[in-house]
Amino acid sequence: MMKIPNISKFLLLLFLISLCLHAASAADKHQDFVECLTKKFNDYSSISSNVYTPSNSSYSSILRFSIQSLRFISDSTPKPAVIVQPEHESQIPPVIYCAKASGLQIRTRSGGHDYEGLSYVAHVPFVILDLINLDDITVDVAEKTAWVGSGATNGALYYAVAQKSPVLGFPAGVCTTIGIGGHISGGGYGTLMRKHGLAADQVIDARIIDVNGRILDKKSMGDDLFWAIRGGGGASFGVITAWKVKLVDVPEKVTVFSIGRTLEQNATQLVQKWQSIAPKFDHDLFVRVILVPENLSSDVQGRNKTIRAIFNSLFLGKIDTLLPLMQKSFPELGLLREDCTEMSWIESILSFAGFPIDAPEMLLNRTQPAVRYFKAKSDYVQKPIPESGLEGIWRLMFEAVADQSVIIFSPYGGRMDEIPASATPFPHRAGNLYKIQHLIFWDESENQDSESYISWMRRLYKYLTPYVSCSPRQAYLNYRDLDIGVNNPKGKTSYARASVWGKKYFLDNFDRLVRVKTMVDPKNFFRNEQSIPPLH
């Protein structure tokens, strides 16, 4: 048996001691936190059933319920010292106070869709403040507004609006299980973006609990903080408990279509033309492109794979109006009447989500049909990618590792061109033709090779460098990507370090966000790997 040198034994002993001390420290902190809560609440029993520590039998199931990426569910993933699920906002100030007093960070979770798991993973002792119970929705049809709790999902809001009116809607994301809290605070886009803009553009009031435990609305928080939380990421500034949003008019009947074309059916040429014309379509017309690799039954031009480009559309009107528009703007696609289906707006939500259009109650389901391993990135395109550039993407998607890759092009133009870049922290407005979401999925049986999938994503991202925005290369906050830079969640983060990723997400708005952060949370209590830092 190999002998371990004395110095190695000593280092190993130090390492084991440090692990024990860290575990003991975390245990002490969570005990201090719980003891603090018992003193801060006049009636601790009012919240005790919603406080979960690792000793609770429900701890693991509560933690896992809202985790939407299997990358952050392993035994080695850092776990919270405590999970708190408040029933109403008045229970949150004591949680903030006790977390500060106990030396615990807070990670706020509404739907758990954070692409890097930052709402429920931290490499420091931390508490998850899970807003799942703050899901009340009140719709005022006469005023065309709604108050929605941050713990509610997109689907629940859509359902609540449709139950009250068939001609009102809300412009947010296609995925129905996303929590409203994170979605709106990062921007929030969907099929109505070209007509009405983002979810964050519709916010007219909000309720936030700041680092001092004050419960604030739009008037009491002031213009700067109200500006910051509408696209700047709410978790940097406090705990947002509810949003008041404007609802938008939708027609009684909308039209949807989804047409797939392979490379053998001129997909490359169709996508190339789409880039120039989709941002110029009528504001009522949204046509995105979903790109997926597909196996061929036999070799074609030396290939056993092709790319399918799916042209996926919502038109705010009837078929008879849509067909002439498409014939004039995009005749090459060959859209036919039989490709189109008229339906209500809420049925279109179900259709885009992949649900039966006669089952609206499915919008109330908080869990996805399948939670998987994935890695994602984002880009913005300001000049059409030439055919040769698209063909390079296809070559990467032909690789065996990319069998479950998906690339989505979402068009800009319309209302997105009209809202000034400084109106909210979300700056990606005029000048962009479309947004790209890059995704690669893999299964549990393949997770031992997870690095190969992440590496493929990074190679795709590098390949696209000449074809996307630059100086800085823009990115979408809600498609969080730690590859583009991180803060130090354990301590101070310099402005220069944070601006590496901050300028990509927020462009010139980053500096104003830093000033707001300095004003409302100067000691940087609310922080994570990509939170807005204060000026020290």
Quick one: pLDDT band at residue 8, thresholds 50, 70, 90? low
Same domain, 90 and 201: no
pLDDT of residue 16: 47
Total domains in the chain come to: 3
pLDDT of residue 40: 85
Quick one: pLDDT band at residue 13, thresholds 50, 70, 90? low
Quick one: pLDDT band at residue 493, thresholds 50, 70, 90? confident
Share of the chain above pLDDT 70, in %: 94
**Separation of alpha carbons 125 and 31, rounded Å:** 12
Structure tokens at 386: 């030439």
**Residue range 377-396: average pLDDT?**
98
Contact 212, 197 (CB under 8 A): no
Domain presence at residue 472: no
Quick one: pLDDT band at residue 17, thresholds 50, 70, 90? very low
**Separation of alpha carbons 360 and 367, rounded Å:** 15
pLDDT tens-digit readout, 54-66: 999 999 999 999 9
Instruction: Kindly report the number of other CB atoms within 10 A of residue 127's CB atom.
Output: 25
Phi and psi angles of residue 499, each rounded to the nearest 5 degrees, phi first: -70, -20
Domain presence at residue 352: no
CATH of the domain at 429: 3.40.462.20
DSSP state of 69: B
489 pLDDT above the threshold of 90: no
Quick one: pLDDT band at residue 1, thresholds 50, 70, 90? very low
Domain presence at residue 530: no
Domain presence at residue 509: no
User: Mind spelling out the 3-state secondary structure of 283-329?
Assistant: CCEEEEEEEEEEEEEEEECCEEEEEEEEEEEEECCCHHHHHHHHHHH
Query: Exactly one of 120, 453, 461, 479 is catalytic; which is it?
Result: 479
DSSP state of 403: T
**Separation of alpha carbons 155 and 164, rounded Å:** 14
Domain presence at residue 11: no
Quick one: pLDDT band at residue 5, thresholds 50, 70, 90? very low
273 pLDDT above the threshold of 70: yes
Domain presence at residue 429: yes
Identity at 162, one-letter amino acid code: A
Same domain, 90 and 37: yes
Identity at 331, one-letter amino acid code: P
pLDDT tens-digit readout, 295-342: 987 777 768 899 999 999 999 999 999 999 999 999 999 999 999 999
Same domain, 323 and 394: yes
Same domain, 143 and 126: no
Q: Which of 409, 443, 467 is the last residue of a domain?
A: 467
Structure tokens at 257: 């279509």
Q: Which of 413, 445, 467 is the last residue of a domain?
A: 467
Same domain, 98 and 37: yes
Residue carrying structure tokens 């801060």 = 40
pLDDT tens-digit readout, 474-483: 999 999 999 9
158 pLDDT above the threshold of 90: yes
Same domain, 376 and 301: yes
**Residue range 471-495: average pLDDT?**
90
Same domain, 334 and 191: no
Same domain, 198 and 150: yes
pLDDT of residue 79: 96
pLDDT tens-digit readout, 388-404: 999 999 999 999 999 99
Domain presence at residue 151: yes
Same domain, 184 and 272: no
**Residue range 426-438: average pLDDT?**
98
pLDDT tens-digit readout, 164-209: 999 999 999 999 999 999 999 999 999 999 999 999 999 999 999 9
**Separation of alpha carbons 398 and 105, rounded Å:** 43
467 pLDDT above the threshold of 50: yes
Identity at 486, one-letter amino acid code: V
Same domain, 264 and 171: no
**Separation of alpha carbons 435 and 102, rounded Å:** 42
Alpha-carbon Rg for the chain, nearest whole angstrom, is 24
Same domain, 437 and 460: yes
Does the pTM surpass 0.75? The reply is yes
Residue carrying structure tokens 């991202």 = 461
Residue 59 designated active-site: no
DSSP H or E segment with residue 347: helix 345-353
Quick one: pLDDT band at residue 97, thresholds 50, 70, 90? very high
pLDDT tens-digit readout, 224-266: 999 999 999 999 999 999 999 999 999 999 999 999 999 999 9
Same domain, 258 and 198: no
139 pLDDT above the threshold of 80: yes
Query: What's the N-to-C CA distance of the chain in angstroms?
Result: 54
Q: Hey, which residues does 292 pair with through a beta bridge? A: 308
CATH of the domain at 52: 3.30.43.10
Q: Which of 202, 227, 249 is the last residue of a domain?
A: 249
Mean pLDDT over all residues of the chain? Answer: 93
Q: Structural domain of residue 100, as residue ranges?
A: 22-130
Domain presence at residue 500: no
**Separation of alpha carbons 181 and 513, rounded Å:** 18
